[in-house]
């Protein structure tokens, strides 16, 4: 797996990887938690959209 982040990111590489792992765990758990604090989309909704090819 290859992970990159913007050069001007305020997160350290370690913190960015930790966040990536946390997002992966929530994705795999099919969590109903929002993917971001300012977003109404949950991991379960995102997974369904990906599975269905983003058909709206």
Residue-wise pLDDT for 28-55, tens only, equals: 999 999 998 898 999 999 989 888 886 5
Contact 35, 46 (CB under 8 A): yes
More confident residue, 56 or 52: 52
pTM of the predicted model as reported, rounded to 2 decimal places = 0.67
Q: What is the dihedral of CA 20, 52, 55, 37, to 10 degrees?
A: -30
What number is the average pLDDT over the span 13-26? 91
Contact 11, 18 (CB under 8 A): no
Domain boundaries, the chain: 32-56
- Structure confidence at residue 1 (pLDDT): 44
- Tell me how far the alpha carbon of residue 39 is from its chain's centroid: 11
């Amino acid at each position: 797996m290859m992970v990159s982040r913007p050069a001007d990111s305020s997160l350290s590489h370690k913190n960015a990887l930790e966040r990536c792992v946390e997002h992966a765990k929530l994705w795999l758990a099919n969590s109903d938690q929002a993917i971001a604090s300012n977003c109404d989309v949950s991991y379960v909704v995102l997974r369904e959209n990906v599975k269905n090819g983003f058909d709206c």
